[in-house]
Structure formats: C-alpha cells, structure tokens
Chain A
Amino acid sequence: MRALPRRAGGAAVKRGLLFDSTKCIGCGACSAACKEQNGLPLPIEKETTAYTWTVVENHNGVNARRLCMHCLTPTCVSVCPVGAMQKTADGPVIYDSKLCIGCRYCIMACPFGVPKYQWDRPVPVVGKCVLCAPRLAAGKATACAAVCPTGATLFGERDALVREARGRIARAPRRYVDHVYGLDEAGGTSVLMLAGVPFGQLGMREDLPHEPMPMLTWRVLSQLPDGIAVGTVFLLGVHWITRRRVEVHRAEGGGPAATPHGPGRTEA
C-alpha cells in the first residue's frame, strides 16, 4: 500500500507525493512508468526534457528524483498569459497544450526549472509532469508512486504526507536533514522531499522565498486599475489647464497661437 489513506470527508483535499531520497535505489521504474502512462517517446533521458518528465539523478551517491513540484500557488499558472497552466483542486498543475502560444514565460519563471520545451519541433508545446491528473481523477495514485518498489515515492493527501515526513525525521533524526523540502519553498508545494544530505547538494534551490512567487508580480499588477484611473484624470486635467492657457493667450490678442488640437504645421 503505497498510497496513504484519504482523509474521510475532505472535500477539496489536495493530494501530492512524498519522495524520500534515503529510500530510493535509483532503479528508474518511476521514469519508465511515467513514459508509459503519458505516452512519451523513449528513451529516458539523463535530465528532464519535454519528453522525459521525471528522472532520478545521482548526486555523489545520493538519488534524487526530478519532477514538477506542483506548487500550491504555482508561478507557471500565474505567468501564463492565456491560462494554459492550471492548478486543480486535486493538487496537480496541469497544462493545456491547445491554449499555449509558446511565449515560454513558464519555463523562464518556474523557480524549480520544471517546464521544458519541444525545441526540436516546428509546432512545439511545453512538457512537464502533470501528477497523473487523469489517474487521480479516477481515484488512482500516480504511475510513479504505484510502481515504486521501495516506497521512496509515496502518494497521498498532502497533510498526511507532511505528518508522515515529520514523523520520519522525528523517528530517525540522524538519517535525515531536518528539512521537509516543499513545505514552505515558493509558498509550499504538493510534492515534498526528504533527504539525508542538504538539498543544495542534490541540485535543489535552498534560497527560494517562502512567500508564493506570484505575489512579486501581483503586487504590481493589482495596482493597475487604480493607476489607470488616476492617470487618465491627471492627463486630461493637464490638457485642460494647458489648453485654457493657450485660449486665454489668444483671447488677449497674444498672436496666432496654434489651436489646441490643430496640426500647427498646416496652419503655420
């Protein structure tokens, strides 16, 4: 039983994965299952690409899975101009290739470097792990969790996974570094990780803010409607004042000043 039991009665329970690096033997069954589940072409590449959505990397003898972290407040969802990326209530961050215009802002912005592009195709789309959203909808665990022979990848409800991760650290403090990766990174992720070495040594960023990244741009964007209103009034006001000045100047016989709107050139 690799899936933790679902909390009874939980309406929109966000589910996720717990990857325990200390249990991973690097067999690569997760990558193979992912390929099959999502109809991706072989071979399994060394690092994640648009065609290989998860890999097991070996960092000095320590195995570390790479896959989409499925942020709770995903950067890719916030930056996509056409809403091709969406976070479902179930947990997965899914991608609708039919909407994508190919601006690649998601690839640019993702703090975990997850979305990848089909650079080799004339009609390219983005590729990334979607947490087996169709399987989740059918009540099944992700393909990678279902196939994992050692339970290194555990599927379940995120709250339960957090408790499980903390319990493991508490039970074996010398086996793990005291850090559940994904608990707070970039505002928290649906995929959590445990490891015996600092995550920086596994190629993971340890400097990510704990506030969701989309706040960085939303702080600015949310000001726009107010700013546009003030700006419109201000500019029209400036125009009104300066035009009046020209009219007064002309009324006082100040010479043939150009009309406020006039293309002065034709009248000169």
Chain B
Amino acid sequence: MSVLPLAAHRPARPGFWTTVFFVILALFLVVAVVRFTRGLGATTNLSDRFPWGLWIGFDILCGVGLAAGAFTIMAVVHLFNIRRFEPIVRPTVLTGFLGYLFVVFGLMFDLGQPWRIWHAVVFWNPHSVMFEVAWCVMLYTTVLTLEFVPMVLERFGLERLRRILHHVNTPLVVAGVLLSTLHQSSLGSLYLIVPEKLHPLWYSPMLPVLFYVSAIGAGLGMIIVESYLSGRAFGRELEMDLLEPLGRAMVVALAVFGVLRLQSLAHAGALPLALQPTYEGRMFQLEFGMGVVLPIALLLWRRVRTSRTGLVTGATLAVLGFIMHRLDVSVTGLERASGARYVPTWMELVISVGLVAIGFAAFALAVRFLPVFPAHVPGARGSGADGAPPPRAGETA
C-alpha cells in the first residue's frame, strides 16, 4: 500500500513542466512582494468603480465551484452508499482540499488587510452574505482537511488516529454536504444585493440556486478532467466505467442548470437580450452555447460519452462554461453599470496562474507521496520503475 516510487528514480535534469512551474513560481513571488508593499492599486486594475476583479471572480468563485466534486462524491458514496465510486473518492477529496486551500490563499491577496481575516470569527454580522461565506470557507476547509488527513495517517501508519476519524465519518460527510450547499449558493447570494448594477442577463433572484447547481455540474466535470490529467501524468488508465456515469450525471446537472437559467431570464424579461449582438449578448451566447448546450449535445451521444476523448472534451467544455458564467457574473455583467471596463493586469494574472500552478504541483506531490489512487487499478503507481516516463512535480499541468 505504501510502496512509493523513490526519489532516486527521477532524472536529475528537471522536465519541461517542472521548469515552467518554477518560472511561474518565481514571477508569483515577485508579484506577491509588490502586492504587499505597494498595495492593490499598484498591482491590479481594480478601482472604486470596479472593486472586485479576477481574484474574486476566478480565484474565489471558480476555485470554490471547481472543488464541488468533493462533496458531491462524498454524498454519493457515503450517504447514498453507491460504493462503486469509492476509487475516485480520494483524488476528488484531494482536489477539493487543494481547491479550498487555493481559495484561502487567493483571498490573502485580494483582501485589503488579510492579517485581519480572523475578525470574521470574532466580530459577527449575520446579516452579511460575506459573513456566511467566511464561515463556510473556514468550516468546510476544516471538514476537507479532516477528510484528507486519513491519507496522510495511512501513509505514516497511524492506524489509531485514522480509526478515530473513521468513526466521525458520517457526521463529517453530512456537515460537508450542508456546508458546501450553503457555500456554493452563498457565492451567488453575494450578487443579490446589486440588482441595479448587474446586467439582467446575469442578475436573478435565483442566483444562489444557479450557483449551487452549476457547481455540481462543474465539480463532476472537474473529476473527469482531473482523472484525465492525472492519468496522463502518472501513466494511469482512465476508469471509464466510473467516469462515464459521472458524465451522465454532469449532463443532468448541466441540463437542470440550463433550464433554471432560461427560466430566470424569462422571468426577468431578459430573453430578448440574450439574442442581441451586444457585448453582453455575445458573452451570454458563448457562455451558454459553449458551456451548457454543446457539452449536453455531445455527451447525450453514447458513443461520444464512452470514448475517452469525447468524455473529456465534454467535461472540459462544461468546466470552461462554468468559469465563464462566474466571470460573467463577477466582471462582464457589472461593466456597463460601473461605466468602467475591467481587464486584469499581468500581475493579477500571474497571481491567479501561480495559484493554479501551485495547486497542480501540490496535487502531483500528494499523489507521489500519499495513497491517493487505489492500488488495484493497473498502473496506479510505481510507473517510474517500469520504464514509463516517471512522474514529476508539476507534470499534471
């Protein structure tokens, strides 16, 4: 179980992705210094007209959403007792855990005074959605940590501790599902308070529900994409027998989201706007066509769904569509009312890309050193020893 590829098998020369990773990391560190010594104005294109940008729209809104696979799979396996998905629980929990660390880490850059983040614990304002968001981040990160820790305990043979955690598994999973439901939806609720600012193509009283449902679809999509990437990086076979049903579940989630989205547009009388060739109309068409209609259309075909390329393409489109929806709510939809166009600076991009790169590297390291993938899947580990290209840090990118 705990037989791991040894560091000695690795070549001394760093691989392509390792080099890319360290270049990004170096840039990331430089920008981090600029951010904390010169302030937000010197680093970002944020302004009083546009106080939230890429770091909220991508790092927070997308980071949380893409981590949604964890609670979905935990619910499926541990609450609905559909045990055959057990083999993908650990990589998915790992993705969720790293996703939330990514969010917390990203928040440190966006908050004006991140060293005061503990204020949310002490100074309460239950009327604030941001207060709910803060508590969900804290509590669910804790839950994910407890769900992740058994991998570490198992690795170091701390059976007693692992068994203790094992006993609180059910309450932990229930708490995780509830907290995720609250957290995913609350990110949508954040925008309920700006009906006069958010474009009618994206504002809806349904935003919390839309954010929740879209996160489930994106979370499932991420499991497929992540399986594909780690399959490539670690020479593993794709568990198509597990991923294909996930693909179907994703289609259902996307379809429910699509119907809800069109309904909320209809109720707001915004359907005609969706067809117009305006900036917002075009963005909506791209977001909805590429991210909802196309993946559904593709994955409804059995032949596409059961082929590796087809499934991964559909899942990738759904994930991209999800990211676009979140960025449209947080950036595109607010531009007209703010009277300002927001384009992130290269430094904002470096922080976001750097966080993603650190996340990928952490995933690769965890897979190398922890029992993440089930042992009975052929080629699960030890591929470095049998002539296949050995995994390297950052390889998953």
Interface residues of A (CB under 8 A from B): 49-50, 75, 77-84, 99-105, 107-109, 111, 113, 116-125, 205, 207-209, 213-214, 216-218, 220-221, 224, 228, 231-232, 235-236, 238-239, 242-243, 245-246, 257-258, 260-261, 263-266, 268
Q: What separation, in Å, do the CA atoms of A243 and B82 have in the docked complex?
A: 10
Residue contact A101 to B119, C-beta cutoff 8 Å: yes
* Shortest Cβ distance from A214 into B: residue: B127
Given A81-B120, A265-B87: A105 and B130 interface contact (C-beta under 8 Å): yes
Q: What separation, in Å, do the CA atoms of A120 and B112 have in the docked complex?
A: 11
Interface: B38 (CB within 8 A): yes
Residue contact B48 to A81, C-beta cutoff 8 Å: no
Given A75-B193, A82-B119, A217-B189: A117 and B170 interface contact (C-beta under 8 Å): no
Within residues 21 to 67 of chain B, which ones have a CB less than 8 A from any CB in chain A? Answer: 36-42, 46-49, 51-52
Interface: B256 (CB within 8 A): no
Residue contact A79 to B193, C-beta cutoff 8 Å: yes
* Shortest Cβ distance from A78 into B: residue: B127
Chain A residues near B47 (CB-CB < 8 A): 119
Most A CB within 10 A of own CB, among B110, B116, B130, B132? B130
Residue contact A220 to B196, C-beta cutoff 8 Å: no
Interface: B80 (CB within 8 A): yes
Q: What separation, in Å, do the CA atoms of A135 and B163 have in the docked complex?
A: 63
Residue contact A258 to B83, C-beta cutoff 8 Å: yes
What are 7 A-B pairs with beta-carbon distances under 8 A? A50-B48, A102-B112, A105-B128, A109-B194, A209-B195, A224-B132, A239-B174
Interface: B354 (CB within 8 A): no
Q: Which of B176-184, B232-240, B296-304 contacts A (4 or more CB under 8 A)?
A: B176-184
Residue contact A214 to B193, C-beta cutoff 8 Å: yes
Chain A residues near B167 (CB-CB < 8 A): 261
Within residues 106 to 157 of chain B, which ones have a CB less than 8 A from any CB in chain A? Answer: 110-114, 116-117, 119-120, 123-134, 150
Interface: B362 (CB within 8 A): no
Partner of B112, one of A100, A235, A263, A265: A100
Interface: B81 (CB within 8 A): yes
Residue contact A104 to B51, C-beta cutoff 8 Å: yes
Chain B residues near A264 (CB-CB < 8 A): 83, 86
Residue contact B48 to A103, C-beta cutoff 8 Å: no
Given A220-B208, A235-B178: A122 and B81 interface contact (C-beta under 8 Å): no
Residue contact B48 to A123, C-beta cutoff 8 Å: no
Q: Give A126 Cβ to nearest chain B Cβ, in Å.
A: 8
Partner of B38, one of A78, A80, A101, A122: A122
Partner of A104, one of B52, B80, B178: B52
Residue contact A221 to B127, C-beta cutoff 8 Å: yes
* Shortest Cβ distance from B177 into A: residue: A235
Chain B residues near A228 (CB-CB < 8 A): 178, 182
Partner of B129, one of A77, A79, A242: A79
Q: What separation, in Å, do the CA atoms of A104 and B46 have in the docked complex?
A: 11
Residue contact A239 to B170, C-beta cutoff 8 Å: yes
Given A120-B39, A218-B127, A245-B81: A101 and B111 interface contact (C-beta under 8 Å): yes
Partner of B113, one of A123, A232, A238, A242: A123
Given A214-B127, A242-B79: A122 and B189 interface contact (C-beta under 8 Å): no
Interface: B78 (CB within 8 A): yes
Q: What separation, in Å, do the CA atoms of A214 and B192 have in the docked complex?
A: 9
Partner of B178, one of A82, A231, A242, A258: A231
Residue contact B48 to A102, C-beta cutoff 8 Å: no
Partner of A83, one of B124, B177, B185: B124
Residue contact A216 to B178, C-beta cutoff 8 Å: no
Chain A residues near B126 (CB-CB < 8 A): 221
* Shortest Cβ distance from A216 into B: residue: B192
Chain B, residues 160-192, CB within 8 Å of chain A (1/0): the string is 000000110110011001100110010001101
Interface: B374 (CB within 8 A): yes
Partner of B48, one of A49, A101, A265: A49
Given A102-B113, A107-B51: A80 and B125 interface contact (C-beta under 8 Å): yes
* Shortest Cβ distance from A111 into B: residue: B196
Chain A residues near B267 (CB-CB < 8 A): none
Chain B residues near A265 (CB-CB < 8 A): 86-87, 374-376
Complex A-B, nearest 4 residue pairs according to Cβ-Cβ distance, in ascending order: A102-B112, A119-B41, A242-B81, A81-B130
Residue contact A239 to B79, C-beta cutoff 8 Å: yes
Partner of B40, one of A119, A235, A243: A119
Q: What separation, in Å, do the CA atoms of A31 and B86 have in the docked complex?
A: 66
Residue contact B117 to A216, C-beta cutoff 8 Å: no
* Shortest Cβ distance from B130 into A: residue: A81
Chain A residues near B119 (CB-CB < 8 A): 81-82, 99, 101
Residue contact B128 to A81, C-beta cutoff 8 Å: yes
Residue contact B125 to A239, C-beta cutoff 8 Å: no
Starting from the known contacts A117-B48, A220-B185, 7 additional A-B residue pairs (CB-CB under 8 Å) come to A124-B40, A125-B112, A217-B128, A217-B192, A217-B193, A235-B178, A268-B376
Q: Give A162 Cβ to nearest chain B Cβ, in Å.
A: 24
Residue contact A221 to B132, C-beta cutoff 8 Å: yes
